[in-house]
Amino acid sequence: VPEGEAQFHRRVWLHRVGTDPASDVCVFGAEFDKTTFFSASVSIDGRWLVVSASPGTAPRNDVWIADLSASDPAAPALREVQVGVDAQTSVHVGRDGRAYVYTDRDAPRGKLVVTDPSNPAVESWQPLLPEDPEAVLEDFAILDAKELARPILLAAWTRHAVSEITVHDLRTGEKTGDVALPGIGSVGGLSERPEGGCECWFGYTDHTTPSSVFRYDARTGETTPWASAPGTVEVPKVYTRQVTYTSRDGTAVRMIVVSPTAEADEPRPAILNGYGGFGASMTPGYSATILAWVEAGGVYAVANLRGGGEEGENWHRAGMRGNKQHVFDDFHAAADWLVEHGWTTSSKLGISGGSNGGLLVGAALTQSPQRYAAVVCSAPLLDMVRYQRFGLGQLWSEEYGDAEIAEELGWLLAYSPYHHVAADTRYPAVLFTVFDSDTRVDPLHARKMCAALQAATTAAASDRPIVFRRESDVGHGARAVSRSVELSADTLVFLAAHTGLSLSGS
């Protein structure tokens, strides 16, 4: 591929196990744009190949299916399931021979339909699980052991960011029950036995429960622990609540607040976190960082901003491209709610975000510096006029807009944090954390922004410092546990120092 484009130009290849990879055959993708993502899967019986293609990180994809028993796997005869439609769709061919199609086509919160894999066109789709007006369909599993009176379908949903699992008749979709969960939290993927059975495993976590695996047995309807995180975890006493507040345009937004007291007894040092992009949902999950902060007497809040997926694809689109300001408005309104309801004050409020969340807090501190006392901005996008020129930036134009298009450049310039740094402004204390081996978001964003803020702020460095934390040999995501601990410690101490949280005795 052209120099500098090794991270692009994906393709679908056929590899025969035991052969030299140099003999692999490209079976799909050569005619697509360099930023297209592909996925490929084969049914458990080896008969049906499903191929999907999506432009970058766009919330839409094209899907094809091929019968490998009727065509050469090196040249599969692919038939269209969905092409040229603004929707996300996936296909799973079950052990019963039916194609189960998950889609948000005409159903922004998701629905499940069935069809014949040999005739997969939309006209043949038959409804199985209709769209729920308040819950987002996330996953499903099929339990079809012979000892069951009838095959069942499990469906995982998130209702306002909180998970639930329902039980349905596989043939009709009729709801027959619910799967008991340990608490108000988040469910991971549903996993059935590949060969079929009556058991399903799923991950689970909440704000006080480390990641665990639970097993559901369709014969008894019981849910039992299967595996838990190693070691003994002593969880401090905390209180968690979900609240609803109103954004600038009247939209209702939800937020989780974790605190050391049941009610707001006094304004406390607080951290507000959010993401608001790419349809990613901020659901409840165990976090040692959050628990350490709350155990020390602070309040921690996570806002379910537009741009995420907590309320389905419409919620995502309400915070992407030309609607990006909605995300920042939701975040500012979350900060105001925490102050108005006595949980904190502006002088005690810190904000934190990484990656797209780094863009979020970068925009927040430039749009409303007086609202916040301290900011941790990690692996951020901040120069939105040039983001496409670095790393994997070209993949994100569907989410943010293309700076080469005049109208979309206007969207980007309207909020680009780097371009809204204003001279003679008293900015909050800011800690940028970057990682030299980050190929997703180039550290240059934070370097430029740090320098611009240092030059512009009127606050004394001893009072509200603007500093830069750099790590080598670390990328955008996973890292050694020791490095995660060090990063969390540094960011918490920084936020504590500038929001007034006392660490004595903790």
* Residue 355 known to be catalytic: yes
Q: What is the pTM of this model?
A: 0.95
* Residue 212 known to be catalytic: no
The pLDDT tens digits for 400-445 are 999 999 999 999 999 999 999 999 999 999 999 999 999 899 999 9
pLDDT value for 192: 96
pLDDT value for 506: 42
Instruction: Measure the CA–CA gap between 357 and 380, rounded to whole angstroms.
Output: 7
Instruction: Measure the CA–CA gap between 165 and 154, rounded to whole angstroms.
Output: 7
Do residues 464 and 426 touch, judged by C-beta distance below 8 A?
A: yes
pLDDT value for 69: 96
Do residues 235 and 229 touch, judged by C-beta distance below 8 A?
A: no
Residue 410's identity, in one-letter code, is G
pLDDT value for 505: 45
Instruction: Measure the CA–CA gap between 497 and 185, rounded to whole angstroms.
Output: 31
Q: Residue 409: which H helix or E strand, with range?
A: helix 406-415
Q: Please identify which of the residues 52, 287, 352, 355 carries the catalytic annotation.
A: 355
Give the rounded distance of the alpha carbon of 333 from its chain centre.
Answer: 21
Instruction: Measure the CA–CA gap between 137 and 157, rounded to whole angstroms.
Output: 5
Do residues 48 and 68 touch, judged by C-beta distance below 8 A?
A: yes
The pLDDT tens digits for 241-256 are 999 999 999 999 999 9
Q: Residue 271: which H helix or E strand, with range?
A: strand 270-273
Do residues 314 and 396 touch, judged by C-beta distance below 8 A?
A: no
pLDDT value for 167: 98
CA neighbor of 366 nearest in space, from 420, 406, 411: 420
pLDDT value for 504: 60
Instruction: Measure the CA–CA gap between 100 and 360, rounded to whole angstroms.
Output: 37
Cβ neighbours of residue 103 under 8 Å, at least 6 residues apart? Answer: 82, 87, 88, 89, 90, 110, 111, 113
Residue numbers of the chain with a pLDDT score lower than 50: 505-506
Instruction: Measure the CA–CA gap between 29 and 26, rounded to whole angstroms.
Output: 8
Residue 125's identity, in one-letter code, is W
Structure tokens at 411: 């969207």
Burial class (CB in 10 A: 0-12, 13-18, 19+), 380: buried
Do residues 357 and 274 touch, judged by C-beta distance below 8 A?
A: yes
Do residues 282 and 302 touch, judged by C-beta distance below 8 A?
A: yes
